[in-house]
Amino acid sequence: MYSAIVFLPLLGFLIVGLFGRALGAKASEYITTGLVIVSALLSWVAFFSVGMGETGLYQVHIMRWITAGALDVSWSLRIDTLTVVMLVVVNTVSALVHVYSIGYMHHDPHRPRFFAYLSLFTFAMLSLVTADNLLQMFFGWEGVGLASYLLIGFWYQKPSATAAAMKAFVVNRVGDFGFALGIFGVFYVFNSIDMSTIFANAPGIMEREGHEAVMSFLGYHLDAHSAMTVICLLLFMGAMGKSAQFLLHTWLPDAMEGPTPVSALIHAATMVTAGVFMVARLSPLFELSHTALTVVTLFGATTAFFAATVGLVQNDIKRVIAYSTCSQLGYMFVALGIGAYSVAVFHLFTHAFFKALLFLCAGSVIHSVSDEQDMRKMGGLRKHIPITYWTMMIGTLALTGVGIPLIGGHIGFAGFVSKDAIIEAAYAASSSEHGNPFAGYGFWLTVLAAGLTSFYSWRLTFMTFHGKPRAPVDVMKHVHESPLVMTVPLFVLSIGAVFAGMVFYGPFVGEGYEAFWKGALFVGAENHVLHEMHHVPTWVKLAPFVMMVFGFLVAYQFYIRSPETPKRLAQEHSGLYQFLLNKWYFDELYNFLFIRPALWLGRVLWKQGDGKVIDGFGPNGVAARVQDVTTWVVRLQTGYLYHYAFAMLIGVAALITWSMFTGVGTVGGAH
């Protein structure tokens, strides 16, 4: 069953990728979609059999992969609770996106290629989450990077799409370089990249006495604790790139240039959560480095706040949701940094449903208004596309965290249950004796981000669906609800957005969470945050709810009661408005620090190095002179006999003349 879950999407990719033109668009859609649906159904079977069953870990051997010296790598599937949770997330969202894309991409002439890419991405992500060793994980890691590049730039005739695809690819290579170095470090220290071996030997490595050097890095000899910190930070660098954390986040908003189903599949629910999954999977290593966990918390909290501030003023409907994704990923890393790994995975799980729902609803809106994405040119769509409106309303309620606080049953939409759990865990960690020094920083920034999230989410809903229509009359005449093939996935995702938090709170993060995870997530002996989070003060539990209500009221005042207020405030505070609108000027900063110097260096090497030095001494120098000489020599070789006879006569005459004047040839040289 587990092999089928992983390789059915690969089968769909191979069939459609190789024979898509012959099969036709319809057959290609049905083949890839059908195989992914089967994989999704099997994933739910695996979820209940493993997560709710007795056995904690299955290992399915596929083949022996690489053997080189001490490196012995097999392709095996690591099946535990964390794996089946990710299988459900990846395959469920992928299956619904495949179905949705049948309607959304209906008029695209290259549908077979699009669906082949979707299935390739799904296989790569499944390879990543089922990896039993770090090399196999890296294979899936790079596979989703490739699929992301192909899907973001799917409309390759659109310059902005190809530029966004290249940007995503390059920025992720920065993070992946750190990830690769981290894998090298793991192999150097443990002499293995097999996860079971690494996890079993990690405590023993840390118990080495004294300051015995176990690894050298950048000229420094590192003891066990320092080596583990360096390894974890390098691994986290990879997570920063893939999960678009602060400083390596710039690719994610631009990735919205791809088709909307791509945004839902890759940049909301699955690929960007790969970094979160990787840190959670390697929790036995991260638990051994408090410094690394502190850095994770710092970047996560900063990302949650930063992305939320930028989302306040964006006008592209997909970019608002993209920055929301970036912010919510920051929440997950805060939970990881304070050691609440199961809380992070819980939010990953619920977030997949309501964020994919929001993206697909945005696609339905764009589909109905003739591909317009600027919210300033929408408005008044509520009565025209009611299904899209109400499903997006459900997604908004889930994202903003609407629920009933202070009730033991945790009654509320998915985001209310999982996001509030992160905030409570952050406060518990800040109050703990062995807590993370940045846990308090994480708590306050996530609380502030909750208010900002509520504001920009309701701003999106009010600008898109309420008020007077701002679209041209000819566009409003053609506004229509999306077909059933696009609305059914919205209904399914809505169920998850409403119930996922309430249903799975107990197994994921409740008092008896150990029985569900069965060791898939490691928690150190001094880490009690998952127990302490259930006993935080009342005001902590109320804080995100109050911020959610405040954000809603401000958005209602700005965009329903007084629509002229936002424009007036933007004019009065133009500096701050431009700062947020231009995304804290990170693109401009990177352009100044990296891109322009790189272009200058490339131009110098091209013009001076390649043009003047290499070409000057090579093709245009020695080679050119040799060619000139050979050209003249070749001209002497005419092939005519009388030319050669004439040259011989000239030679004989020259020889006789030389003999006459030098006296050479007379007998004895006497006169």
Residue 26 lies in a domain: yes
Same domain, 615 and 563: no
Q: Specify the pLDDT at position 670.
A: 47
Q: Specify the pLDDT at position 643.
A: 78
Domain limit, last residue, from 288, 317, 351: 288
- The two structure tokens encoding residue 10: 């690969």
| Residue range 383-406, pLDDT digits in tens | 999 999 999 999 999 999 999 988
Look at the chain and report how many structural domains it folds into.
4
Same domain, 209 and 354: no
Same domain, 598 and 655: no
Lowest-pLDDT choice from 186-195, 219-228, 487-496? 219-228
Burial class (CB in 10 A: 0-12, 13-18, 19+), 407: exposed
Same domain, 174 and 203: yes
- Which residue type occupies 143? G
Asked if 260 contacts 363 with a C-beta cutoff of 8 angstroms, the reply is yes
Q: pLDDT at residue 666 above 60? A: no
> E strands, 390-503, where?
403-404, 411-412
Residue 131 lies in a domain: yes
Same domain, 231 and 324: no
Q: What is the mean pLDDT of residues 632-660?
A: 84
| Residue range 245-269, pLDDT digits in tens | 999 999 998 988 889 899 888 876 6
| Residue range 437-484, pLDDT digits in tens | 999 999 999 999 999 999 999 999 999 999 888 888 888 888 989 999
Same domain, 322 and 261: no
Residue 158 lies in a domain: yes
Look at 330 and 647; give whichever has higher pLDDT.
330
Q: Specify the pLDDT at position 665.
A: 55
Q: Specify the pLDDT at position 208.
A: 66
| Residue range 43-70, pLDDT digits in tens | 999 999 887 676 678 899 999 998 888 8
Asked if 259 contacts 155 with a C-beta cutoff of 8 angstroms, the reply is yes
Same domain, 382 and 494: yes
Mean pLDDT across the chain: 90
Q: Specify the pLDDT at position 406.
A: 81
Residue where the block lists tokens 């909290």: 301
Residue 293 lies in a domain: no
Query: Other C-beta atoms within 10 Å of 445: how many?
Result: 24
- Which residue type occupies 282? L
Same domain, 563 and 626: no
Tell me the pTM.
Answer: 0.90
Same domain, 507 and 569: yes
Q: pLDDT at residue 192 above 80? A: yes
Backbone angles phi, psi at 78, to 5 degrees: -100, 110
| Residue range 68-110, pLDDT digits in tens | 888 889 999 999 999 999 999 999 999 999 999 999 999 888 9
Q: Specify the pLDDT at position 210.
A: 52
- The two structure tokens encoding residue 96: 């619904």
What sign does the dihedral 337-338-339-345 (CA atoms) show? negative
Residue 50 DSSP class: I
Query: Sorting pLDDT into bands at 50, 70 and 90, what band is 671?
Result: very low
Q: Specify the pLDDT at position 409.
A: 66
Please give the share of the chain, as a percent, with pLDDT higher than 70.
Answer: 97
Q: Rounded to the nearest 5 degrees, what angle is found at the Cα of 512, between the Cα atoms of 510 and 514? A: 110
CA distance 497 to 385: 20
Domain limit, last residue, from 261, 288, 315: 288
617: containing domain: 583-637
Same domain, 343 and 217: no
152 to 110, 191, 246, 318: CA distances (angstroms):
14, 38, 21, 14
Residue 88 lies in a domain: yes
Domain limit, last residue, from 288, 317, 350: 288
Residue 109 lies in a domain: yes
Residue 150 lies in a domain: yes
Q: pLDDT at residue 211 above 90? A: no
Same domain, 357 and 386: yes
Q: Specify the pLDDT at position 195.
A: 94
Same domain, 273 and 314: no
Residue 169 lies in a domain: yes
- The two structure tokens encoding residue 156: 């390759």
CB-based contacts of 31: which residues, under 8 Å, 6+ apart? 12, 15, 16, 23
Q: Rounded to the nearest 5 degrees, what angle is found at the Cα of 267, between the Cα atoms of 263 and 268? A: 90
Query: Sorting pLDDT into bands at 50, 70 and 90, what band is 541?
Result: very high
Q: pLDDT at residue 536 above 80? A: yes
Q: Specify the pLDDT at position 68.
A: 86
DSSP per position, 560-618? II-TTHHHHHHHHTHHHHHHHHTGGGHHHHHIIIIIHHHHHHHHHIIIIIIIIIIHHHI
